[in-house]
Structure 1
Amino acid sequence: MPAFFSWPSNGESPVEGTANYLRDFTKAISSIPALEEFLVQFGEKTRAEEIYVLAHSMGSWTTTHALMSLALNRPKLAAKVKLVTLAAPDIDARVFTVQIAPAMVKAGYAVNLYASDNDKALNASRVVWGRPRAGIAGAALTLSPGVETIDASDIDTDVLGHSKYGDSPALLEDMALFYGGARAGQRPGLIPRKRGAETYWQIQAPPH
């Protein structure tokens, strides 16, 4: 049963306006308790045995913090959350690596992270905050133990490179395989890459 949670974003990237973008961050933080309660209500009313989550951009901040809180406050319900996709997460890369990723993995969530080095919105966010974002690929690609990171830079479907995750058949197919239980090494569209001792994955662009 699909369900959607919408938080009160202005819907503007930092490319379009810094003021509204910063106000959105405040709203993203204040929406954490509401999303946690939404997950509780969804889990209890549907009696779902497994819950899969998908978050995009700044919504990834709200989602990861709601899930971390859920693991502390309602561990039995949190155990039903099996798979989590973070598409272009607008989260401080170091905060993600040091705090968020370890907490998510400890809670038992399988996390799939899509990043891109041609995401203009996240690159603008990096300028605003002065720090890399977890959804940026290239030299700043964020790798964390227990998180499967996928470089989607070769997929290009929109001007800002930020909304490709809902527009690209290749990405949607990869997400479907993930939610079907296939780990990155089992999905045919992904190529393994190495950075030192760490492995990440690159999704192949469809042939033209």
Structure 2
Amino acid sequence: MTNREVPRMVRKVMFAGLIVLAGCAGRPEGVLVPSGEVAPGVSTVDLLVATTRAPSSQPGVLFSGERGSELAVSDIVVSIPPDDKRKVGQVQWPKKLPADPMKDFSTVSVKPIDGAKAADGWLGRNLPKSRRVLIFVHGFNNRYEDAVYRFAQIVHDSKTDAAPVIFTWPSRASIFDYSYDKESTNYSRDALEELLRAAVNTPEVGEITIMAHSMGTWLAVETLRQMAIRDGRVPKKIQQVILASPDLDVDVFGQQMRAIGKDKKDRPNFTLFVSRDDRALTLSRRISGNVDRLGQINPAEEPYRSMLENQGITVLDLTALKSGDRLNHGKFAESPEVVRLIGNRLIDGQSVTDSEVGLGERIGAVALGTAQTVGSAASIAVSTPIAVFDPVTRRNYNDQWRRLGNSVEDTTTTAVGQ
């Protein structure tokens, strides 16, 4: 990047930041002040929330973006408006407080729990008959309440048959703090491992799914890697790993997968949600040495397709899917079809390697494995196995990216988003 390009890029990031801040300007602070009551006709989601954030003294904020000294755990119940009052895939933030539970997401109760090991009591009360647990790790640029309400929306809209747990790490919720947030994920690896081990060691728990988004995928995969190195393999109860818009260097991901387990029988099933029009990952790629981000690959083209060894990782390409997200970075949560796929198939451990994923007309399958594109009109069921990413083989492919015009010049409203 030339000296002339640097100021231009900074201006674009600042412009994007103003847009993001403007979008949040009407949102009141303190939405996690509990109402203590459930309005007739609303739905509720009971979440176990674990965090490495520092406590906040501000009522209804609970935790800041700074790093805490220990893992803090809470039981939070969120109220969601009736389905005929809201759009699936969206969080209805209150414009003023107290929230109107018939129109807005609102907080019913907040109860501190004494550490991850004490969470087995919550799991015992909230485990469904499936005995499944879903643990979500949010992405970059998220406040504590952002993570809680977004996960409540995903749980409600996906109708998942699993006890919902969220791990929220210290994010300053600013596009100018990308490096701080990345280091905060590293800071939180041991705490996430503590939470995972607490769930694994709860006798009532049958199986665990981990779902992570954006920068949170780094934290999730790194934690699994360190567990595999420590124990020789990832605990068997952790059966599904879903990585949505993974902000991961593809070279590093290849190394991580080797440490987690070369043979798919010795590791969880991995599913990736990717989108080649993800503007947030375009910027992340630019500031990370122009190495491809895992969430932007095209699994049906070279060099990735030829490098895919039989690791059995499923890839769902959401490029053709349209959403209200300006950055195309949160499609997995905003698309009604995708959140239902998460709840009805992926968390249940069902295969989506066939083309009957319920998201559109069957088109066909690619010869090597299957390549899956999810769109409003059609879907190709894709389960391309992702394995080792060889930087030498990929050099020619980088030229293709440049010809496609995937540059920051085309993303005037780009930020590395939530």
What is the alpha-carbon distance in structure 2 between the residues aligned to residue 142 and residue 164 of structure 1? 23
Q: Decide which of 90, 99, 102 is 2:258's aligned counterpart.
A: 102
Contact 2:277 2:319 in 1 (8 A): yes
What is the alpha-carbon distance in structure 1 between the residues aligned to residue 189 and residue 302 of structure 2? 27
Provide Cα deviations, 1:69-96, integer angstroms capped at 9, x if missing partner: 2233356871100111000010101211
Q: CA deviation at 1:191?
A: 5.7
* Residue 128 (1) aligns with residue 287 (2): yes
Q: CA deviation at 1:166?
A: 1.0
Provide Cα deviations, 1:10-59, integer angstroms capped at 9, x if missing partner: 234xxx43xx1111111111211111111112222464111111000010
Map 1:12-91; keep pairs closer than 5 Å: 12=174, 16-17=175-176, 20-45=177-202, 47-74=204-231, 78-91=235-248
Q: Decide which of 310, 315, 319 is 1:153's aligned counterpart.
A: 319
Aligned residues: 200
More helix by percentage: 1
TM superposition score normalised by structure 2: 0.44
- Looking at CA atoms only, which structure, 1 or 2, has the larger radius of gyration? 2
Letter in 2 for 1:3: V
Contact 1:92 1:134 in 2 (8 A): yes
Contact 2:270 2:313 in 1 (8 A): yes
Contact 2:273 2:318 in 1 (8 A): yes
Letter in 1 for 2:350: A
Q: CA deviation at 1:118?
A: 1.2
**How high is the sequence identity, in percent, across the aligned residues?**
28
Contact 2:214 2:246 in 1 (8 A): yes
Contact 2:200 2:235 in 1 (8 A): no
1:4 aligned partner: 166
1:185 aligned partner: 353
TM superposition score normalised by structure 1: 0.84
Provide Cα deviations, 1:79-122, integer angstroms capped at 9, x if missing partner: 100111000010101211x2123344544210000100111111
What is the alpha-carbon distance in structure 2 between the residues aligned to residue 82 and residue 141 of structure 1? 29
Q: CA deviation at 1:140?
A: 8.3
What is the alpha-carbon distance in structure 2 between the residues aligned to residue 192 and residue 181 of structure 1? 23
What secondary structure, in the 3-state scheme, does the structure 1 residue paired with 2:169 have? coil
**RMSD value, Cα:** 2.6
What is the alpha-carbon distance in structure 2 between the residues aligned to residue 61 and residue 140 of structure 1? 24
Q: CA deviation at 1:198?
A: 5.3
